[in-house]
Amino acid sequence: PAPSRPRRLAVLGATGSIGVSSLRVAAEHPDKYAVAALAGATNVTLLAEQAAAFRPPVLAVLTDERADALRKLLPAGYAPDILVGPEGYAALAALPEADVVVSAIVGAAGLLPTLAAVAAGKVVALANKESLVLAGDLIRETARRTGAVILPVDSEHNALFQALGGAGLPDLALVERLVLTASGGPFRTRQTDELAAVTPAMALNHPTWAMGPKISVDSATLMNKGLEVIEACRLYGLPVSMVDVVVHPQSIVHSLAQLHDGSLLAHLGPPDMRVAIAYCLGYPERLPLAVPRVDLVTLGSLTFEAPRHDAFPCLGLARDALAAGASHTVVLNAANEVAVALFLQGSLPFMGIASAIADALAAHAGEALPDADSIMDLDARARRRALETAKRA
């Protein structure tokens, strides 16, 4: 048979941790992948380097100023279209020239481009877990209507997807519960009273994964695992009671599914996001990948322990929000994004993140969210409120 043409990728958040890893996977198989479009926000130097290497016909950045700066950095004779702002990202996500959209913008800013990709019926390699936390039902319904395929990049969900055999998770009826593994983050063994004084630099120093700043802080508070419990329930339509969390500091077992005969199906691998990304980009094919191999004898042991809810209340807050309803998870996410940004600026203590979220949830009565506009509106209101409350504190 004739060799198939390369799969064309559009990468949102190309300049971030997941974006860079995605392009490393694509570069390893130039015969299999071509890059149709790259979107970044502010780092035009890196975006220009990536664009020069892959020559996509379409780029996107956050502002007109950045677009001008980017254009000046591109090599002579290469003049791609440069789209701008949220509308530009959404247009890029729906480009007819793209087969697979990597959704790797951080935070709620990833929702509208993710929805645009799903509405356009794309294969979506979804790293932006916040979009499922904000609008999981809408994304699932839209995908059902358009035939879009959502492939989870998040390592835990990717592990479950691999363990359970792919797209429709055909064995879901056999699943008793899902067990998400958590590294425990940099403060896993700290005394609870020591956490008051931890700094952003300490929170950013993750023991097993190298990631962007927001998700690194989320890992330190365990909010990342809370968002992932919501992500799992929204991806597979499961109640929160079916998703457990276990702390596994070595980050080798990436999650497990417990079946109704007592079997545990797990996925193991190195703590390198390229494994999950490559699985999504190649799906259903598996391409070889040059990542470090796990040496079990060197590791010696894999350990598991319960999460410490006293020290890390964010995990419980996320479970409560999920049980309370869809609008509560929007408020949870908005308060968390505001609080994490304040913590990174040095204007909120570490434990203030959980308090800010608890406060936001306590003040929220619940509301109907029929569409993306109402979700983005609640997101904006919850952010304003969280910011005002933090200023008064």
List interacting residues with Mg ion (CB under 5 A): 154-156
Closest of 311, 308, 307, 309 to residue 194, by C-alpha: 311
Q: Which of the listed partners (ligand NAD, Mg ion, none) does 119 bind, with a CB threshold of 5 to 8 Å by partner kind?
A: none
Shortest Cβ 22–ligand NAD spacing (Å) = 9
CB 61 within 8 A of CB 1: no
Determine the Cα–Cα distance for residues 374 and 379; give it in Å rounded to an integer. Answer: 8
Q: Cβ closer to ligand NAD: 229 or 359? A: 229
Exposure pattern of 380-390 as b/e (b: 16+ CB <10 Å)?
A: eebbebbbebb
With CB under 6 A as the contact rule, the residue among 99, 130, 231, 337 that binds ligand NAD is 130
CB 138 within 8 A of CB 241: no
Q: Cβ closer to ligand NAD: 41 or 123? A: 41
Q: Cβ closer to Mg ion: 319 or 364? A: 319
Q: Cβ closer to ligand NAD: 233 or 359? A: 233
The packing angle between helices 350-362 and 326-344, to 10°, is 150
Residue type, 285: E
Does residue 181 bind ligand NAD (CB under 6 A)? no
Instruction: Looking at residues 27 to 66 of the shown chain, list those that interact with ligand NAD (rule: CB under 6 A).
Output: 40-43, 62
Q: What is the contact mask toward ligand NAD in residues 200 to 229, using x (rule: CB under 6 A)?
A: ---------x-xxxxx--------------
Nearest-CB residue to ligand NAD?
A: 16
CB 126 within 8 A of CB 150: yes
Q: Which of the listed partners (Mg ion, ligand NAD, none) does 111 bind, with a CB threshold of 5 to 8 Å by partner kind?
A: none
Does residue 132 bind ligand NAD (CB under 6 A)? no
Q: What is the contact mask toward ligand NAD in residues 139 to 158, using x (rule: CB under 6 A)?
A: ---------------x----
Kindly tell me the burial class for residue 370, based on how many C-beta atoms sit within 10 Å of its own C-beta (0-12, 13-18, 19 or more).
exposed
Instruction: Looking at residues 81 to 120 of the shown chain, list those that interact with ligand NAD (rule: CB under 6 A).
Output: 89, 104-106, 109
Q: Cβ closer to ligand NAD: 131 or 258? A: 131
Q: Cβ closer to ligand NAD: 130 or 359? A: 130
Does residue 128 bind ligand NAD (CB under 6 A)? yes
With CB under 6 A as the contact rule, the residue among 15, 114, 183, 333 that binds ligand NAD is 15
CB 322 within 8 A of CB 230: yes
- Enumerate the β-bridge partners of residue 305: 247
Helix (H) or strand (E) holding 96: none
CB 352 within 8 A of CB 221: no
Structure tokens of 192?
């609870």
Cβ-Cβ contacts under 8 Å for 260 (sequence gap 6 or more): 174, 175, 176
Structure tokens of 8?
């064309």
Determine the Cα–Cα distance for residues 118 and 116; give it in Å rounded to an integer. Answer: 5
Shortest Cβ 244–ligand NAD spacing (Å) = 19
Shortest Cβ 142–ligand NAD spacing (Å) = 19
Q: Cβ closer to ligand NAD: 127 or 169? A: 127
The piece of 126-134, 281-289, 309-317, 374-382 that touches ligand NAD (CB under 6 A) is 126-134
Q: 152: helix, coil or strand?
A: strand
Determine the Cα–Cα distance for residues 97 and 51; give it in Å rounded to an integer. Answer: 16
With CB under 6 A as the contact rule, the residue among 7, 9, 10, 19 that binds ligand NAD is 19
- Enumerate the β-bridge partners of residue 60: 39, 83
284: preceding bond cis by omega (within 30 degrees): yes
Q: Which of the listed partners (Mg ion, ligand NAD, none) does 211 bind, with a CB threshold of 5 to 8 Å by partner kind?
A: ligand NAD
Q: Cβ closer to Mg ion: 38 or 252? A: 252
> Which positions lie near ligand NAD, rule CB under 6 A?
13-19, 40-43, 62, 89, 104-106, 109, 127-130, 154, 209, 211-215, 273
